Amino acid sequence: MASDVTTAIKDILDDFVAKGIVGASVAVVMPGDALLTVCAGLADRERGNAVEPHHLFKNGSCTKTFVAATLMRLARAGVVPLDQPVAEWFPDLPKGGQIQVRQLVNHRSGLPEFEFDIPMMPGRVWAPQEIVDLAFRVRPQEEPGQRCSYSNTGYVLAGMLIEKLTGGTLAAQVRRQVLQPLGLADSFSAAGEAFPEDRLVRGYYHRPPPPPGGPLPLEQGGEMWNMNGVLEPSDALQDSTALFPFSEAYAAGDMVATPRDMALFLDGLFGGRLFEPEWLQEMAENRWPAGFPGTRMRESGAGLFLSSYAGRMTLGHQGSLPGYVSVMQHDPATGISAALVTNTGSGNRLSFQASGLHGAFDEILAAASA
């Protein structure tokens, strides 16, 4: 049976790549601990190197699930109460007395967003506080707890909080609290620790020329990142590997990993190997409605979104950085955990390069559960 599933997934990936993706890699953890890995396409277009299972991909906002789990582990150990106002650690943060620790990771903090405005400055090292300061300069703050509004800034502050609580780096705590307990050796918090860069696939970005009428809103296919001065508009895919420094993402999206580690992470998380059910419930339950262009995310928990794939509701995350798009999901109905990562992306979240992986993931999950 496993061989039949592997063959089916290989056909799906080959078709996905043929439609305009440079490279892709999949890992599926089946009930009973069967693990499948399948690859297609190229890790480096210039050299012609094929994607292989050991290759690392930037997983973007899938990082958030690892960071949220790290925070839950610290709360479980009594290091931090999740209902404590963050003003205790960030006394100068506007409305910090109204923002609970848990709201940093459940997208209900009301904090202003930076992602659409932060300049692409390859090679620059950003301090986390610089990112928070930028967010307050470019966008307004909302009232905490009023609605779900996707917040990379909340996760930057969550990373800063983890460092304040432990006296160490975020990278060290993600490793200590999550990666080591689950035996994951192919995941790295790249803003804070070294990783085998020779195993990182190149990223390729589609930046189509703007329409004659000028830039569009994000929900209509407008560009989500500020690429001015670093990448010219073109219908051709362009190498974007170094455009977005890891420190510019930090706790909101700095991890690199194999899809194998991402799928095993979800399997361990939902299998109770990190903490008791009450802490998983803190991440997976108490959800609020959410909707974002080019995504399948329907409701937000803390580091986990309820999403729709293959006609069922799954829990996980998706991520994107210039030239990289990823999705990892756990299906409670079947116990399957899976991750699909690509080295092709676009700032237009309605484009195939940005959102075509969702249809491929539908087929992968259906094949794995057949």
pLDDT for residue 96:
98
Token duo for residue 16: 């996905």
- Specify the DSSP element, H or E, that contains 19: none
Q: Flag whether 152 is in a domain.
A: no
Is residue 296 scored above 80 in pLDDT? yes
In this predicted model, what pLDDT tens digit does every residue of 317-338 receive, in sequence order? 999 999 999 999 999 999 999 9
Q: What is the mean pLDDT of the chain?
A: 95
Transcribe 330-351 into DSSP letters. Answer: EETTTTEEEEEEESEEESBTTS
Stretch among 150-159, 198-207, 286-295, 297-306 having the lowest mean pLDDT: 286-295
Q: What is the mean pLDDT of residues 224-233?
A: 88
Q: What is the mean pLDDT of residues 215-223?
A: 77
Q: Flag whether 243 is in a domain.
A: yes
Q: What is the mean pLDDT of residues 11-17?
A: 98
266: containing domain: 2-62+171-368
**How far is 31 from 233, CA to CA, in rounded Å?**
45
pLDDT band at 292 (very low <50, low <70, confident <90, very high): confident
Q: Flag whether 240 is in a domain.
A: yes
Q: Flag whether 136 is in a domain.
A: no
Query: Beta 234-239 vs 204-207: how paired, if at all?
Result: antiparallel
| Cα 243 from chain centre | 17
pLDDT for residue 356:
95
Determine if residue 60 is left, alpha or beta; phi over 0 gives left, psi from -120 to 50 gives alpha, anything else beta. left
pLDDT band at 2 (very low <50, low <70, confident <90, very high): confident
Q: What is the CATH number of the domain that holds 195?
A: 3.40.710.10
In this predicted model, what pLDDT tens digit does every residue of 94-103 receive, in sequence order? 999 999 999 9
* Cβ neighbours for 118, distance < 8 A, ≥ 6 positions apart: 131, 134, 226, 248
Cβ atoms of 162 and 73 within 8 Å: the answer is no
User: DSSP H helical segments within the chain, as ranges?
Assistant: 2-18, 63-76, 128-138, 152-166, 170-174, 180-182, 246-249, 259-270, 277-284, 352-368
Q: Flag whether 150 is in a domain.
A: no
Q: What is the mean pLDDT of residues 111-135?
A: 95
Cβ atoms of 329 and 315 within 8 Å: the answer is yes
Q: What is the DSSP letter of 62?
A: G
Say what percent of the chain tops pLDDT 70.
99
Torsion sign (Cα): 185, 190, 196, 200: positive
Q: Flag whether 160 is in a domain.
A: no
Is residue 228 scored above 90 in pLDDT? no
Q: Flag whether 285 is in a domain.
A: yes
Token duo for residue 38: 């399948």
Q: Flag whether 254 is in a domain.
A: yes
pLDDT for residue 1:
57
In this predicted model, what pLDDT tens digit does every residue of 339-349 receive, in sequence order? 999 999 998 88
* Cβ neighbours for 197, distance < 8 A, ≥ 6 positions apart: none
For the chain, the domain total comes to: 1
**How far is 74 from 162, CA to CA, in rounded Å?**
8
Determine if residue 167 is left, alpha or beta; phi over 0 gives left, psi from -120 to 50 gives alpha, anything else beta. left
* Cβ neighbours for 83, distance < 8 A, ≥ 6 positions apart: 100, 101, 102
Stretch among 201-205, 275-279, 286-290, 293-297 having the lowest mean pLDDT: 293-297
pLDDT for residue 210:
80
Q: What is the DSSP letter of 104?
A: G
